[in-house]
Amino acid sequence: MVCSMTRIQRLTGFLVVLALQFAAVPTLVAQKTEHDATEGVQLKWHTSLDEAAVESKRTGKPILMEIHGRPWCPPCVAQGEKIIDHPDFIGWVHDKFVLLELQVGKGYSRTKGSPIWFEQFKKHKLPGIPAAVLLDEDLQAMGTVFPKEDASQWLGAASNILTTHALRKQRAGNEPKRIVPFRMTSANNISVPATLDGRIALNMMFHTAADSVSVTKKTASSYPEISFGGRVESETWGGKSEVRYGQASFAIGSLAAQQTTLFEDVNTGHDTDGKFGPQQLQSSIIQLDFAASEIRLLSDVPAEIKSEQAGWKKLNLRRESGMMFVSGELFSKQQDASADFMIHSGFSGFGLLSGELASNHPFLTELPVIDKRSIVDAAGNKLATKRVHIPSFQINGETMQQVPFSFFDGATAKQQYNVLGCDFLRRFNWCFDFNEECAYLKKNAHFDAEYFSP
C-alpha cells in the first residue's frame, strides 16, 4: 500500500458504522465547555478485535476501529493531529464507543500472512489508509466518512450517517413484511400466484432472466378480456419471431398491482400460465428461500446474511440487460474452464453450455453423452440437446460432483450464454442485493438431492 499526500489519498476515508441500538444522534458543535470537560480524558484503545468485540457485546456500544500507519504515513499523522487528538472528537467518542486501533507497519508484505488489519481492510473494501470503521454488534459497516479539514466537519458528516441509519432502522421496523409464497412444479419451475386486471387468477413462473410479463397463447385464448394491440419482434434460443403485446394490470401474490406491458408467448414453464421477472417484484433486495417456499422482498440485507454467518456466503453478481450472471468453474480430469453463467430459473435442468464455451473447450462436449432431449423455447421452437456429466462444478467455494450440463446438438452457436438452471438454483437459499451488485447463497436440504431429469 502506498501512502502519499495526493488529494485522493487525503480524501481516503473514515468508514463509519453505528451499533443497532445506537439510534439517538447528538448535535455535534465544537464548544469551549466541551474542551474543558475532556481535559485529562485518555481514550482507551484496544489492539485486539476479539477483545473489542467482547466489550462491545458487554456494554452495547459500537466499535470504532481505526486502521492507520502512524508515524510513517504522513496522511495518517495529519489525521491523528486534526481529528483523533482533537478535544471535540475525544469528547464525543470516549463514553459512546469501544475503540480499536490496528496499526500498519512500514514496509509490510502481503506474502507474510494476513494480519488482522489487512483482513478488515479487505472485508470493508477500504480504498486506503488512514481509515476508521465503526462496527455494530454484528461487525457490519453502516456508512463512510471521508477525512475533513477539521474535527467539526468530520463529526458533522458522521452525525448525518448515524441519523440516516437510525431512520433506516425505524423504517425497517415499521415496514410490513412483503412475502410471496411459491411452489415448485413437477417440472422444476417456480410457480407464483398472480392476478391479471384484478380478476384473472393465474399461476405464473418466476423467471430470473426475464424482464417483462408474458402469458401463453393458450392462457390468452381462455380469457377474452386479455387483449393485445401491437406486435414486436422477439428473440429466443430458437431465433427471432413476432409476438403480440398489450397493457394490463398485474399483481403478484398480495403485492400491489402495477401497470405493465403484457406479451404473448407460445411456451412457458410446465403447469404455469406465463412468466415474470425480478423487475416486477419492485425490490432491490430479493430473498429466495427454497426451504420455506417464499420470496421475501426486503429493504436491507439481514445482518446474519450480510455478516456471512450461519453458512451464508457472498459472491459477486453481474447484471446485464436485466439478467444476472455469476462465475463458476468446470473440471474434468486435468482440464478446467472458467466462465460466467446466467441464472435462469426458466431452464428446469442444472446447466446449459454456450456455443462459445463448448467450442473453446471441447473436453466438455467429448464426455460420454447420457441422453439426448429436445427443449422448447418461449416461441415454441424445439431444439435438440445432448447432456453430459461434467466431473466437477465449483461456484464460490461450493463443489458439486458429476453435474449434468446440456449443449445444443449441432447448433451450439445458437446459445449465446452459459446457463445455470433451476436445478442448480434450488440447492441454495439466495439473497440478491442489486444495490451492491452481489448475492448471498447458503446450502439447503436440496444441495445433495438427485439431479433433476427433465
| For range 436-448, the mean pLDDT | 94
pLDDT band for 176, please (50, 70, 90 cuts).
Answer: low
Q: Which of 178-187, 303-312, 378-387, 440-449 has the lowest mean pLDDT?
A: 378-387
pLDDT band for 191, please (50, 70, 90 cuts).
Answer: very high
pLDDT band for 251, please (50, 70, 90 cuts).
Answer: very high
Per-residue pLDDT of 363-399, as tens digits, reads 888 889 888 877 777 666 777 788 899 999 999 999 9
State the average pLDDT for the chain.
81
Residue 21 pLDDT exceeds 80: no
Domain covering 296-443 in this structure, CATH number = 2.40.70.10
| For range 25-49, the mean pLDDT | 61
- Cα distance between residue 122 and residue 412, in whole Å: 40
- Cα distance between residue 227 and residue 269, in whole Å: 22
Share above pLDDT 70 across residues of the chain, in percent, rounded to a whole number: 81
Q: Where are the domains of the chain?
A: 45-174, 178-283, 296-443
Q: What is the CATH topology of the domain spanning 178-283?
A: Cathepsin D, subunit A; domain 1 (2.40.70)
Per-residue pLDDT of 294-333, as tens digits, reads 999 998 999 889 988 889 999 999 998 889 999 999 998 8
Q: Is 30 exposed, middle or buried (0-12, 13-18, 19+ CB in 10 A)?
A: middle
- Cα distance between residue 51 and residue 56, in whole Å: 9
- Cα distance between residue 238 and residue 445, in whole Å: 35
Per-residue pLDDT of 208-246, as tens digits, reads 999 899 999 999 999 999 999 898 877 666 667 788 999
Cell numbers for 107 = 514496509
pLDDT band for 442, please (50, 70, 90 cuts).
Answer: very high
CATH topology identical between 45-174 and 178-283: no
Domain covering 45-174 in this structure, CATH number = 3.40.30.10
Determine the pLDDT at residue 28: 38
- Cα distance between residue 222 and residue 179, in whole Å: 29
Q: Which amino acid is at 355?
A: G
Cell numbers for 228 = 393485445
